[in-house]
């Protein structure tokens, strides 16, 4: 088994429901009724942090398209990274992607938390993209067409290792297409704190648990 890391939404509280309702019982009821309108959680034997990426409706809509998730395909993907620092660059990319197009925000900062955790991959099933002669092209920062074409040609891959184009050191990411290639539990779920500055469009995040403290800006990904 190999360890890998992933950052996701904050798992630590029920902040929304608590803040919009007048009692804990109403907060619980609100969460329950909102959850009841989501697709059922598949793969109940796996931790929710692992099963959730395999929950999204198929086929993939074009708006959900990603590196190895072409529109129209019938496979969900869990992305994770070999090193925590690489997972943070990937997280920062997705974090900034939802913010840097916004104009005329008040100068200031946005603070909060996310959850970072460790999972395990069964190492016998990994295909290594870094050995592919067209790896550079497939890992284009801006054009997903080559990576989509690659994964459509190689639809039997269960786990793909590939160099991160968001990490300046190009350390490895994994795209996991089959949940059975993953261990069922996670370890080390830890708060990751962040501050986002709207004027400079940079995010600083840190975690004592993972001994990290980094600042990433939009220019890192241009």
β-bridge partners, 173 = 81, 162
Q: Does 103 bind other proteins (CB under 8 A)?
A: yes
Measuring CA to CA, which residue among 178, 193, 174 is closest to residue 46?
A: 178
**Contact, 126 vs 161, CB < 8 A?**
yes
Q: Does 101 bind other proteins (CB under 8 A)?
A: yes
Question: Nearest distance from residue 131's CB to other proteins, in Å?
Answer: 27
| Residue in 12, 94, 145, 168 binding other proteins, rule: CB under 8 A | 94
Residue 181 in tokens: 């290639």
**Contact, 67 vs 160, CB < 8 A?**
no
| Residue in 97, 136, 141, 169 binding other proteins, rule: CB under 8 A | 97
9 CA to centre of own chain: 9
Q: Does 219 bind other proteins (CB under 8 A)?
A: no
Q: Does 213 bind other proteins (CB under 8 A)?
A: no
Number of other residues whose CB lies within 10 A of the CB of residue 166: 20
Residue closer to other proteins, measured from CB, 110 or 134: 110
Question: Nearest distance from residue 182's CB to other proteins, in Å?
Answer: 15
Contacts of 176 (CB under 8 A, 6+ apart): 77, 78, 79, 80, 121, 158, 159, 182
Residue closer to other proteins, measured from CB, 40 or 131: 40
**Contact, 196 vs 110, CB < 8 A?**
yes
Question: Nearest distance from residue 115's CB to other proteins, in Å?
Answer: 9
Q: Strand 126-128 to strand 159-163: parallel, antiparallel, or no bridges (unpaired)? A: parallel
Number of residues that bind other proteins (CB under 8 A): 49
Question: Nearest distance from residue 91's CB to other proteins, in Å?
Answer: 4
* Range 26-55, binding other proteins (CB under 8 A): 26-27, 29-30, 32-34, 36-38, 52-53
Backbone angles phi, psi at 74, to 5 degrees: -110, 25
Backbone angles phi, psi at 16, to 5 degrees: -60, -55
Q: Does 145 bind other proteins (CB under 8 A)?
A: no
Interface with other proteins (CB under 8 A): 7-10, 15-17, 19-22, 25-27, 29-30, 32-34, 36-38, 52-53, 56-57, 61, 63-64, 79, 90-91, 94-95, 97-99, 101-106, 108, 110-112, 114, 198
């Amino acid at each position: 088994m190999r360890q890998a890391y992933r950052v996701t939404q904050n798992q630590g509280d029920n902040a929304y429901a608590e803040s919009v309702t007048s009692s804990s019982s109403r907060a619980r009821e609100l969460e329950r009724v909102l959850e009841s309108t989501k697709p059922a959680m598949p793969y109940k034997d796996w931790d929710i942090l692992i099963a959730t990426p395999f929950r999204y409706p198929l086929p993939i809509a074009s708006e959900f398209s990603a590196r190895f998730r072409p529109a129209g395909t019938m496979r969900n993907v869990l992305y994770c990274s070999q090193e925590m620092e690489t997972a943070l660059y990937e997280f920062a990319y997705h974090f900034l992607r939802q913010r840097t197009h916004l104009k005329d925000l008040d100068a200031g900062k946005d603070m909060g938390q996310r959850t970072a955790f460790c999972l395990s991959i069964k190492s016998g099933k990994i295909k290594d993209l870094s050995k592919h002669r067209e790896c550079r092209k497939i890992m284009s920062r801006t054009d997903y067409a080559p990576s989509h074409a690659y994964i459509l040609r190689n639809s039997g891959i269960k786990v793909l290792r590939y160099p991160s184009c968001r990490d300046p050191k190009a350390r490895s990411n994994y795209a996991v297409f089959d949940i059975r290639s993953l261990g069922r539990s996670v370890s080390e779920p830890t708060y990751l704190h962040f501050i986002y500055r709207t004027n400079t469009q940079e995010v600083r995040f840190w975690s004592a648990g993972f001994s990290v403290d980094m600042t990433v800006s939009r220019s890192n990904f241009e």
